[in-house]
Structure 1
Amino acid sequence: MVSGMFDVSLDEKLSNRFAIEIPTDDDWRVGMIVGPSGSGKSSIAAKAFGSQVYRGFRWPARKAIVDAFPAELETRSILRTLISVGLSSPPAWCKPYRVLSTGEQFRADLAMSLVSPDPLIAFDEYTSVVDRRTAQMGSAALRKSIDAGHIDRQFVAITCHRDVIDWLQPDWVADMSSGQLSRRRLRRPKLEMQIRAGSISDWPLFAKHHYLDPRLNPAARCFLATLDNQPVAFAAVLNHFRKHTFRFTRLVTLPSFQGIGVGGALLDGVAAHLVDNEDAELVSISGSHPAVIHHCNASSRWEFRELKKTGRRASGFFRDHPDWKVSLGRAVASFRYQE
């Protein structure tokens, strides 16, 4: 009836033919199919990659996301994958998917796609549901992990958003608008991070993302990292038993900015400031978070001191305040900053 009313030629209007070249070699790590809605991205991806196209996962309504991954995967492997896509907050790992923020859900989906046994993963509707800043930071975190070898997969982003190209740095781009395939590797835009003195009043924004006690020692000195005047990470230090010695007691990056090195840069920047400008004789950090341990192990500025497999017993302030959490019962690695 509609065809007759509007004189629509169904044979002509209901079919669309298009062709574009997709690389068939293995000399690349990240690819992208980009184009406006209705341009044929998903059809091309289905033809080229078949069952390797990830179109979402039915997350359990009540299970923590770490419990939703395939049972044969070790917990360490799951956490490593979550960290590699920038979902680095232990509290988020223990929540059901449905209560996570949209940005955290996007990263959880990324992680789930990457545990597939397939050597190539094509991710449909890449960054379609997140704000553009989260999309850019998530893309940078993903590329960083791929380049570091933490993700041993070829990855293809299928998206209508061109703003992530510079951040994901694809080795090839299939542009559905022009019908052209281009091979390139762009330089990622630089982020200008500032570090300034903070205060305890800054802590509530970060507290829920930290895996220890949400309270902050009132004697702590606070530091804030910002991007475009927006708070992105928080660090706090305490005097460690004597003058001119400091230890980090808090280091937290907001979820949208995890996975791109912001926390490590803040850690190094504050430690350097304490040594160079405040005559610190010792700056140390002890922690259990895999991202902190990896950063310190990989840095020439941090010297490994010891590993306590069962943590430390409460002493000093913590002995007098047993309601505050200490590291007893969990493995803790300690590092010392050196110039």
Structure 2
Amino acid sequence: SKISSIFDIPINEKLKKTWNFNFPIEEKDWKIGLIIGASGSGKTTLAKHIFNEENYHHSFEWGDSAFVEYFDKNISIEKIIETLNKVGFSSPPSWVLPFEKLSNGQKFRTEIARILLSNRELTIIDEFTSVIDRNVARISCMAISKFIKKTENKKIVAVSCHYDVEEYLQPDWVFDVNTLEFKWGCLRRPEFKFTVYKCDKKAWKLFEGYHYLSSSLNNAAQCFVMFLDDLVPIAFSSYIHQQHPHVKNMKREHRTVVLPDYQGIGLGNMMSNFVAEYVTSIKCKYSSTTSHPALIFSRLKDKNWVLSKAPKILNRAQGKEKKSNSIGRVTATFLYKNNNNKKEVCNDTEKRPEG
């Protein structure tokens, strides 16, 4: 070609690439593998050769309707929702959107959920996390890793040029195409730094569109925002005073939201528990009523929360509850016990937990 002649490129050598390496994949059982290396290093070619091209994932086709309509029709909507939650896509308002209207992070998790609900036991996922923000990638990797390792008969081989994937995905094995080195095990996952600040109600604007029931906020709400690495706002929680016939100092959880790209690793529970701990540390009682299935399930297992009203479906004949956004939904009410017995959780401005 003209290009090869101008630059004196040995074209036959460039069109052919050979490797000599050890790949002891059959030595141990595994769930998640990672093939990593620079762009153009041959990662995809190797993945297809070792694990068969038929296992290579090509993007799904999505139409203009709500994306959940394009999952396998034999899979119940309950199972689809459960899987979306487990890969970290826990935002019901976004479940009614077409695929093209989702953020890149939501698209990535939706593709993963659909893969994991398919009949395929092994899937090669190329360009893993390549099109999403690296903070979002870290959270996504943690959520996906946790789910896959608990799911029977599912394996993935992630192919990526991003070396940070290894730390957060926690693969069972890693093959570096740049060095032709294979290793079992993974790096220790770095700690995240989460900081919670008491904030003005104006902060709700960033989160209001993502609450699973309502975008409204009580004018008397006391509000808190969680930041990742002290830079990125990722979660919101608030509480209000609750009139109670027997308890003077009763407070109630009002709104708790985690932005969609940061869901899947328990930040909603962490934020909710932080505010509950703060409120009980200033000698108040704290209750929370929720109809979010994942939150109900989590609190039933959490020793810090005590079930005070068993899960039930509200109806319009239940007096004051008739104005509730939870009508027709299963709701449950919990009281926070504060088993940690901490007298001072934070002051009125901030707390800086790390973990």
Which stretches in structure 2 are left out of the alignment for 5+ residues?
340-355
Give the whole-Å Cα distance in 1 for the aligned partners of 2:7 and 2:135: 44
Aligned residue among 289, 292, 297 for 1:289: 292
- Matched with 1:94 is 96
1:75 CA drift (Å): 1.0
Identity of aligned residues (%): 35
**In the TM superposition, what are the counterparts of 1:1-339 in structure 2 within 5 Å?**
1-2=1-2, 8-20=9-21, 21=23, 23-25=25-27, 27-50=29-52, 51-60=54-63, 62-147=64-149, 149=150, 153-229=154-230, 230-242=232-244, 243-276=248-281, 278-281=282-285, 283-305=286-308, 306-310=310-314, 326-338=325-337, 339=339
1:25 CA drift (Å): 4.8
User: Is the alpha carbon distance of 1:76 and 1:198 closer, same or farther for their aligned partners in structure 2, counting shifts above 3 Å?
Assistant: same
TM-score normalized by the length of structure 2 = 0.86
User: Is the alpha carbon distance of 1:9 and 1:228 closer, same or farther for their aligned partners in structure 2, counting shifts above 3 Å?
Assistant: closer
Give the whole-Å Cα distance in 2 for the aligned partners of 1:263 and 1:237: 14
1:209 CA drift (Å): 0.7
1:99 CA drift (Å): 0.8
Give the whole-Å Cα distance in 2 for the aligned partners of 1:44 and 1:310: 56
Paired AA for residue 326 in structure 1: N
* Contact in 2 for aligned 1:31/1:156 (Cα 8 Å): yes
Secondary structure in structure 1 of the residue aligned to 2:207: helix
Pairwise CA RMSD? 2.2
Give the whole-Å Cα distance in 2 for the aligned partners of 1:315 and 1:188: 50
* Contact in 1 for aligned 2:241/2:250 (Cα 8 Å): yes
Give the whole-Å Cα distance in 2 for the aligned partners of 1:38 and 1:255: 32
* Contact in 2 for aligned 1:86/1:259 (Cα 8 Å): yes
* Contact in 2 for aligned 1:313/1:328 (Cα 8 Å): no
Which stretches in structure 1 are left out of the alignment for 5+ residues?
none
Paired AA for residue 270 in structure 2: A
1:257 CA drift (Å): 1.2
Give the whole-Å Cα distance in 2 for the aligned partners of 1:38 and 1:136: 24
1:153 CA drift (Å): 1.9
* Contact in 2 for aligned 1:312/1:326 (Cα 8 Å): no
Secondary structure in structure 2 of the residue aligned to 1:111: helix
User: Is the alpha carbon distance of 1:259 and 1:150 closer, same or farther for their aligned partners in structure 2, counting shifts above 3 Å?
Assistant: farther
* Contact in 2 for aligned 1:172/1:185 (Cα 8 Å): yes
1:101 CA drift (Å): 1.2
User: Is the alpha carbon distance of 1:298 and 1:53 closer, same or farther for their aligned partners in structure 2, counting shifts above 3 Å?
Assistant: farther
* Contact in 1 for aligned 2:166/2:186 (Cα 8 Å): no
Secondary structure in structure 2 of the residue aligned to 1:138: helix
1:29 CA drift (Å): 2.1
Secondary structure in structure 2 of the residue aligned to 1:118: coil
Secondary structure in structure 1 of the residue aligned to 2:210: coil
1:7 CA drift (Å): 5.4
Secondary structure in structure 2 of the residue aligned to 1:155: strand
Paired AA for residue 264 in structure 2: G
User: Is the alpha carbon distance of 1:334 and 1:151 closer, same or farther for their aligned partners in structure 2, counting shifts above 3 Å?
Assistant: farther
1:95 CA drift (Å): 0.4
Give the whole-Å Cα distance in 2 for the aligned partners of 1:260 and 1:300: 19
User: Is the alpha carbon distance of 1:314 and 1:233 closer, same or farther for their aligned partners in structure 2, counting shifts above 3 Å?
Assistant: farther
Paired AA for residue 327 in structure 1: S
